Amino acid sequence: MTLKSILISLCIICLNFNSYSQKKESPYETDLVKDGIWITTGVGLNVVGVLLIQDKPSLSQQDLNALSKDDIWGIDRWAAGNYSEKANSASYIPMFTSFALPLALLINENERSHAGQISVLFVESMATTGALFTITAALVEKSRPLVYNTSIPDEERMDNDEQRSFFAGHTAATAAATFFAAKVFNDFNPDSPWRPVVWGVAAAIPATVGYLRIQSGKHFLTDNIVGLAVGAASGILIPEIHKKKNKNVEIYPTMGFNLRGENVNSQGIGISYQF
């Protein structure tokens, strides 16, 4: 099934469901202060992560010469040396398309009447995913598969941008968008027979991105598995903790904490879950 046919199917699902759906109350509740802190913190961490990535050192010639495929995990070793500009360019198509999937929800009148609330949750999901990705990519030293391709000029292989293979940001962002859309559709339409199809599409699109990122030499398999898991978790959990009936989950602003007897001033958000 092509990406185009998947998107057409999703639109048909939304239109078909809209034909017999009735307007319902939103299953979510948002708070101006708590969600404002969440989004602000997420965006701030994204900025910090990007700055750290920009300052990440390049690979030295000595370290490049010391690289060996034998040092790579067996599950990833087969991808070492992959390189394809065509696959790299192609990976952006499903990724950018996935960002529009939450908009497809608005075809349904019920979701459209809560567009503002859904937008807030989507921004939170993407900001959370972005923060986790940028900070991790900046702090973890891991060369991309293409760095092991000796036909590529050393200057390109040593570039600092090629030293942040973990984890796959494209896959994570795509998964966050698609699983968010599936989660919201599921919560607004709990009795819809289309839910398995929607969840299947939500998994298929980031998996496609992950495959293309491996072929392009940008990421290993494990990078994509983690990226998909992180994105899916953000896309699902952000709406889940905002559900009205979920009284076990609480989001609250934090102003400080105690670390080894020292008072540390901080501003952010906290999450608690009561079993």
Nearest to 206 by CA among 83, 86, 89, 99: 99
Q: Taking the mean position of all CA atoms in its chain, how far away is CA 22?
A: 31
Residue with tokens 């960002």: 99
Mean pLDDT of 246-269: 52
User: Three-state DSSP class for 82?
Assistant: coil
Maximum Cα interatomic distance, the chain, rounded to a whole number of Å:
66
Residue pLDDT, tens place only, 39-92: 999 999 999 999 999 999 999 999 999 999 999 999 999 999 999 999 999 999
- Residue 270's DSSP bridge partners are 252
Distance linking the first and last C-alpha atoms of the chain:
42
Helix then strand then coil, % of the chain, to nearest 5 = 65, 10, 25
Count of CA atoms in the C-beta half-sphere (13 A) of 260:
0
Residue pLDDT, tens place only, 181-212: 999 999 999 999 999 999 999 999 999 999 99
Task: Calculate ∠ Cα 254-122-133, nearest 5°.
Answer: 70
Element housing 263 (H / E): strand 262-273
CATH level 2 (architecture), domain 29-59+80-247: Up-down Bundle (1.20)
- pLDDT reading at 16 higher than 70: no
